[in-house]
Amino acid sequence: MRLKSVVSSLLLHPLQPGDTIGILGGGQLGRMLALAAAQLGLKTHIYAPEEDSPAFDVATRITQASYEDEEALRVFAESVDVVTYEFENIPLKTAQFVERLNRLHPGAKALSATQDRLIEKQTIAALGLATAPFKAVDQRDDLVKAIEVLGTPSILKTRCFGYDGKGQVMIRAADEAKEAYASLQGAPAILEGFVPFTREISVVAVRAANGAFAAYDVCENIHAHHILSETRLPAAITPATHQKALNMAQSLADALDYVGVLAVEMFVTQDENGAEALIINEMAPRVHNSGHWTLEGAKTSQFEQHIRAICGWPLGSCKRLGTVMMRNLIGVDVDQWQALLQNPDNHLHLYGKSEARQGRKMGHVTQVMAL
């Protein structure tokens, strides 16, 4: 480790082959990042609390410790050349602690703006970009007032720690407020007006340390039980909407001084004349499930782009290579692995998780049909 306590910029000191990337979080995203790093001659050190972390199988070095363990974090941060994270629910304090010891990309600023739904919406709105209408809810009275303003249906969401629809309650009538509020057990929340969208899309983009920006084609996402089920490309949106979505992602990445891959989930709405508009739902400061198709469907995968960006290296091409269908294997879906391998057009990815719990992402399968 060349830096010790002096945090230098990627532009002055890009990583060299043989250097080590530290990754906070040990899920499948960390696993695929570590594989991309290895391809570029880099080592990885994964830090995660769970013993059976999927990324541990493919890393150079692992630390199994809690995100509150400052001694373990210090040893980790000082053993690597740059640190990144593979999920946004690591405590902000952990990210800030690591950022004082080494380079952290994306930085703690990007993490704080994306892990709290209130700050996230305020950040988006401050750039003049559209979000669902929202109100902060810190106590039950706030919820009653918010429902008066936003109406029903509306969705109550915890500000932090939500994913795959967890920490969310749909409110269909004002008299459901009491029960909905109680279900969050006092967690700070926001109420969001329901957006009558026609499609859900996302932009997976990457920004380099020198400000260079690249984005993949917009993808269309289909959810089942609040979990991403399928991603398809091209998205059935107009070229103008497509360009607008990419521009919105670039504004966000620039505003956050972002380095790495950023995913932006959006709703597409249509007025009575069929004109499309875009509303930003949420951002993820990391590689994203809706970008898994890029492993085979784009010139450079999202995982390689993230590694290149956080190493201070030039970005690759985001060009799409065909028509794409990516399907998640959730829970017992993974039992289909043998049948899926019978189709030679399927690219099968399994994350090495031993227990196929309900709702757990076990793998995915991608098909790319040449253009």
Ligand X SMILES: Nc1ncnc2c1ncn2[C@@H]1O[C@H](COP(=O)(O)OP(=O)(O)O)[C@@H](O)[C@H]1O
Stretch binding ligand X (CB under 6 A), from 50-58, 188-196, 232-240, 341-349: 188-196
Question: The tokens of 346 are what?
Answer: 């399927």
Residues 107-146 that bind ligand X (CB under 6 A): 132
Question: The tokens of 256 are what?
Answer: 């956050």
> Tokens 């249906």 identify what position?
153
Q: Minimum CB separation from Mg ion for residue 189, in Å?
A: 16
Q: Minimum CB separation from ligand X for residue 223, in Å?
A: 5
By CB neighbour count within 10 A (0-12 exposed, 13-18 middle, 19+ buried), where does 142 fall? Answer: middle
Stretch binding Mg ion (CB under 5 A), from 79-87, 110-118, 148-156, 260-268: 260-268
Distance CA 137, CA 275 (A): 33
Stretch binding ligand X (CB under 6 A), from 107-115, 163-171, 181-189, 347-355: 163-171
The DSSP code sequence of 304-364 is HHHHHHHHTPPP----B-EEEEEEEEEGGGGGGHHHHHTSTT-EEEE---S---TT-EEEE
Partner interacting with residue 2 (select from Mg ion, ligand X, none; CB below 5-8 Å by kind): none
Stretch binding Mg ion (CB under 5 A), from 23-31, 57-65, 264-272, 336-344: 264-272
Stretch binding ligand X (CB under 6 A), from 14-22, 191-199, 242-250, 334-342: 191-199
Distance CA 153, CA 255 (A): 32
Distance CA 39, CA 41 (A): 6
Is residue 162 a contact residue for ligand X (CB under 6 A)? yes
Q: Which among 164, 160, 156 has a CA at the least distance from the CA of 181?
A: 156
User: The dihedral of CA 80, 84, 86, 87: what is its sign?
Assistant: positive
Q: Which among 363, 359, 367 has a CA at the least distance from the CA of 322?
A: 367
Q: Minimum CB separation from ligand X for residue 52, in Å?
A: 23
Binding residue for ligand X, selected from 120, 192, 217, 304, defined by CB under 6 A? 192
Is residue 223 a contact residue for ligand X (CB under 6 A)? yes
Q: Minimum CB separation from ligand X for residue 226, in Å?
A: 5
Q: Which is nearer to ligand X, 30 or 193 (CB)?
A: 193
Question: The tokens of 189 are what?
Answer: 């929340």
Is residue 99 a contact residue for ligand X (CB under 6 A)? no
Residues 33-72 that bind Mg ion (CB under 5 A): none
Residues that bind Mg ion (CB under 5 A): 265
Contact residues: ligand X, CB under 6 A: 132, 155, 162-165, 192, 194-195, 200, 223, 226, 265, 281-282
